[in-house]
């Protein structure tokens, strides 16, 4: 058993800084590079890509990152764990094996973790009595079955641990929990029991702290003016120990900040009941966390407790829910606000006169109430506002109606209030709306699949 391991976060989402994971590997010693590419909507985007091209459906950026650090993986023992596989982890694996062969890297073991995609098995699951009710509305999933784009189980750390036990250098998964990417190396290296829920919770919280990449090392930080260097922001590293204690830190000489405040702020991210943070691996108690500054850019986290995991997996599904269309116009002084409000009123009246049907019609004044919908923001003397952007958005189930409405935007330039600018890019077109369907599934109904491939 190692005395400690360093687990570095390289991505907080699909589209994060492309050179961050490469710097994590090359700027100092680490044992693991973990990269989180998936959000709820990401799976549906990847599914659409795969429907157009059977070789797509994964985070293709990931392949370029791995190519840049093949030497460190092959010669320095750095292991990579990522959910970059999306809805097509095998295609991701194939591309990596192809590049490894072209560059002469032999003996690399690449693991694929899948089985999370239950869309092909949905009819069987429904027939077996699994209603997959929407956790918010209680509706059974069969009500939107024909519109489904994706349906994926959130697996935990266990299949990743199995892959590491089988010697994997790179682990590519589909939809596993963000926290499981970090927890798995700790379980594997320290020999933790899956039933030791205090340690499982410690590893889960470590994963939660670094799952958003640079968000815990100074990015998106409330007290952002304390950050001296955003340009070369250092991504976070977990320095973990067998007893469940860990430190949050980053490479020396990098920008950003790791402090009690940055860690505490990240701990609040996406938290409901802090005493019951539910994952497939455990229920972590965030109220048990103790932390203290333990040096420059180094925070010690300890004292974590937790409870047994639940008998269900969370399922993240997505489905088509009609169409949306948005466009903007900018109105200038004098009376910019009145002009923009009148323009929105004109558009609504013209849509009604045309008999266009929408589920939602919304106008926002960017600069006044787009981020704060308090109606008081539009009260008082607003006559001296220099300029305001009108953003109009509609949602409905007729693409034709929305596209017809899109033809009404540009004419406002000559048939509405004066002092308008900022219209460009042609007539806006309707695009599909992807809605989210959260559900629970008995763990006995599905199992992850782990396979190892060698270059």
pLDDT digits (tens, 9 = 90+) for 160-214: 999 999 999 999 999 999 999 999 999 999 999 999 999 999 999 999 999 999 9
Residues 261 and 330 in one domain: no
Q: Spell out the residues 6+ positions from residue 401 whose beta carbon is closer than 8 angstroms to its own.
A: 356, 357, 358
Q: Spell out the residues 6+ positions from residue 209 whose beta carbon is closer than 8 angstroms to its own.
A: 216, 236, 238, 248, 263, 266, 267, 301
For residue 188, CA distances in Å to 17, 42, 185 come to 29, 28, 5
Residue 146 inside a domain? The answer is no
Residues 253 and 351 in one domain: no
Residue 223 inside a domain? The answer is yes
Residue 30 inside a domain? The answer is yes
Structure tokens that stand for 413 in this block: 């330039």
> Which is nearest to 92 in space by CA: 67, 62, 121, 70?
62
For residue 120, CA distances in Å to 56, 87, 115, 133 come to 18, 12, 11, 18
- Dist CA 82 CA 12 (whole Å): 11
- Give the structural domain span for 347: 321-434
430: number of Cβ within 10 Å: 22
Residues 230 and 110 in one domain: yes
- DSSP output for 78-105: -EEEE-TTTT-HHHHHHHHHHHHHHHT-
How buried is residue 399: exposed, middle or buried, by Cβ count under 10 Å (0-12/13-18/19+)?
middle
- Dist CA 91 CA 98 (whole Å): 11
Dihedral sign for Cα 40, 42, 45, 49, please. negative
Per cent of the chain over pLDDT 90 is: 91
Q: Give the pLDDT confidence of 42-51 residue by residue, as tens digits.
A: 888 898 898 8
Domain end, chosen from 254, 283, 310, is at 310
How would you classify residue 104: left for phi > 0, otherwise alpha for psi between -120 and 50, otherwise beta? Answer: left
Residues 224 and 295 in one domain: yes
- Dist CA 205 CA 251 (whole Å): 21
State how many domains the chain has: 2
Q: List per-residue pLDDT tens for the chain, 455 residues long.
A: 899 999 999 999 999 999 999 999 999 999 999 999 998 778 888 988 988 999 999 999 999 999 999 999 999 999 999 999 999 999 999 999 999 999 999 999 999 999 999 999 999 999 999 999 999 999 999 999 999 999 999 999 999 999 999 999 999 999 999 999 999 999 999 999 999 999 999 999 999 999 999 999 999 999 999 999 999 999 999 999 999 999 999 999 999 999 999 999 999 999 999 999 999 999 999 999 999 999 999 999 999 999 999 999 999 999 999 999 999 999 999 999 999 999 999 999 999 999 999 999 999 999 888 887 777 777 778 888 999 999 999 999 999 999 999 999 999 999 999 999 988 778 999 999 989 999 999 999 999 999 999 99
Residue 147 inside a domain? The answer is no
């Amino acid at each position: 058993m190692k005395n400690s391991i360093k687990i570095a976060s390289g991505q907080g989402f699909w589209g994060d800084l492309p050179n961050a994971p490469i710097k994590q590997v090359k700027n100092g010693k680490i044992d693991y590079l973990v990269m989180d590419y998936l959000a709820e909507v990401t799976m549906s985007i990847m599914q659409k890509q795969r429907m157009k091209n059977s070789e797509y459906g994964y985070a293709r950026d990931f392949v370029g990152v791995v190519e840049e650090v093949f030497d460190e993986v092959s010669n320095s023992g750095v292991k990579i764990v990522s959910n970059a596989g999306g809805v097509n982890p095998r295609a991701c694996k194939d591309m990596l094996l192809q590049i490894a062969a072209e560059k002469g890297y032999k003996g690399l073991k690449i693991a694929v973790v899948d089985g999370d995609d239950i869309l092909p098995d949905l009819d069987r699951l429904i027939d077996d009595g699994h209603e997959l009710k929407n956790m918010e509305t209680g509706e059974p999933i069969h009500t939107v079955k024909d519109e489904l784009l994706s349906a994926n189980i959130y697996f935990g750390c266990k299949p990743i641990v199995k892959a590491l036990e089988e010697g994997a250098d790179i682990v590519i998964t589909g939809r596993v929990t963000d926290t499981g990417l970090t927890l798995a190396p700790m379980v594997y290296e320290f020999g933790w029991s899956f039933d030791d829920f205090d340690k499982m919770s410690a590893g889960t919280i470590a994963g939660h702290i670094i799952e958003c990449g640079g968000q815990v090392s100074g990015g998106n930080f409330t007290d952002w003016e304390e950050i001296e260097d955003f340009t070369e922001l250092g991504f976070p590293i977990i320095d973990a120990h067998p007893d469940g204690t860990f430190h949050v830190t980053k490479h020396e000489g990098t920008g950003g900040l790791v402090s009690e405040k940055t860690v505490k702020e990240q701990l609040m991210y996406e938290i409901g009941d802090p005493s019951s943070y539910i994952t497939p691996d455990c229920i972590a108690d965030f109220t048990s966390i103790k932390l203290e500054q333990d040096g420059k850019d180094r925070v010690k986290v300890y004292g974590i407790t937790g409870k047994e995991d639940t008998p269900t997996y969370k399922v993240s599904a997505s489905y088509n829910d009609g169409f949306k269309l948005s466009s903007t116009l900018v109105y200038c002084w004098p009376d910019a606000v009145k002009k923009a409000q009148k323009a929105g009123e004109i558009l609504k009246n013209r849509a009604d006169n045309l008999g266009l049907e929408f589920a939602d019609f919304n106008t926002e004044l960017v600069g006044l109430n787009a981020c704060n919908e308090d109606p008081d923001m539009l009260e008082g003397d607003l006559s001296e506002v220099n300029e305001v952007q009108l953003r109009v958005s509609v949602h409905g189930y007729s693409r034709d109606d929305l596209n017809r409405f899109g033809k009404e935007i540009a004419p406002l330039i000559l048939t509405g209030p004066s002092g308008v600018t900022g219209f460009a890019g042609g007539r806006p077109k309707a695009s599909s709306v992807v809605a989210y369907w959260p559900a629970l599934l008995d763990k006995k109904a599905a199992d992850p699949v782990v396979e190892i491939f060698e270059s």
